[in-house]
Amino acid sequence: MRRSTSLLSLILLGAGVFLLVLTQLLAWYVEPRAKRTPTDVNSTTVFEGKGSYFDTEAVTTVDDKTITITRRVLGDVAAGERSGHAVWDVSTQIDTPKTLPLEDPRRSLQWTTERWVTDRRTNLPVHCCEEQPEFEGEAYLKFPFDVEKRAYAWWDSTRGGTVPLKFDGSTEIDGHEGYRFTGTVEATKTGTRQVPGVLVGRPKSGQVLAEEWYSNAGIELIVEPRTGRIMNALIAPTKTLRAPGSKKDAVTLLSSKRLEFTEATRREQVNLASEDAGRLKLLGETVPLVGGIVGGLLAAAGAVLVIRGRRQPEHSESDENGLSNGSNLSPANVAGTSRGNQH
């Protein structure tokens, strides 16, 4: 008997090995490289809620008014490609019912611009590319990929420093699971501002350098675990003025017990998080698992066929001659042979 390898067995074995290699490539090479902060980001998030603010026209603090915070993030793609980092220009404006319709950040209650640079893989700050201001921490507009159930150092631009946010359990938002992180900011001096002394209880002082103070009674961020995208955010900021050296607030510049993502912003962030997480799961889990199972089965089937082969009988030349001679034994020849034997 001799062995022969069929074309089918080679195809099965080759396809199985190819799938096994491909799935490992996706799991160990492609998927980790897909976990990169984008450089071409272009997004707008909006907070909204009721609160108080200082009305410069009325020269007093007005209460129970709608406050809107609009944050626009635009990636500097050219700078990102040159540096290999994520370079984002961030514009944040705080508007009142009077300034919001103007659609001009220069006329808003407060407008700040920043330039953030982060490592695309780790999300850690990178101090280059005209970063402004210099910042620290682990989490900013997003958390790192593969969020852990632990405390994170979150950068608070108003405070000008990091705030520890503790892991506060899992929750579901619009049908998508997220990790909740919470924290607070104690009253902190953030700068000074020249104002009339009468405004802070110093009528005889003319102009004074009043102290700006900031606190936040409650920060709550709901983060998508796989991507680090913030799906919902809630803050409760308070900004006040104090007379130089005073321990008491004299003027409330801004205060709200609850500023939260609008429904439209929350829905968009959840959808984006779901799509991004789905792609990462497909590359890192689903395709490698299914591909590994199918590839293993195909490779095993092909290997079995190769080992077993197809058995076929082997014919010797003498056997073939014998069959040929035997075919010449006609009845007449047999009879002639018999007669010759009788003589």
Q: What pLDDT sits at residue 29? A: 46
Neighbours of 232 (CB within 10 A): 20
What are the start-end ranges of the E strands in 59-160?
A: 60-75, 86-95, 110-118, 152-156
Instruction: Name the residue among 147, 150, 118, 123 with its Cα closest to residue 134.
Output: 118
**pLDDT tens-place string over residues 135-175:** 999 999 999 999 999 999 999 999 999 999 999 999 999 89
pLDDT at 312: 45
> How far is it, in rounded angstroms, from Cα 263 to Cα 20?
44
> What pLDDT is stored for residue 222 in this prediction?
98
Average pLDDT on 248-272 reads 97
Rounded CA-CA distance 274/278 in Å is 6
Calpha distance 270→233 (Å, rounded): 12
pLDDT score at 333: 44
Q: What is the pLDDT of residue 277?
A: 82
pLDDT at 36: 84
More confident residue, 186 or 331: 186
pLDDT value, residue 103: 87
Q: Global pTM?
A: 0.76
Report yes or no: 230 and 221 within 8 Å, Cβ to Cβ.
yes
Residue-wise pLDDT tens digits, 22-39: 555 555 544 445 688 889
- Rounded CA gap, 304 and 13, in Å? 9
On the question of pLDDT at 111 being above 70, the answer is yes
Sign of CA dihedral 219, 259, 159, 201: negative
Q: What is the pLDDT of residues 58-105, one digit of tens each?
A: 899 999 999 999 999 999 999 999 999 999 999 999 999 999 999 899
CB atoms under 10 Å from CB of 271, counted, come to: 13
Tokens encoding 250: 């004299």
Which residue bears the tokens 């799961």? Answer: 281
pLDDT digits (tens, 9 = 90+) for 293-343: 655 555 555 556 556 664 444 444 444 444 444 444 444 443 444 444 443
d(CA 166, CA 171): 14
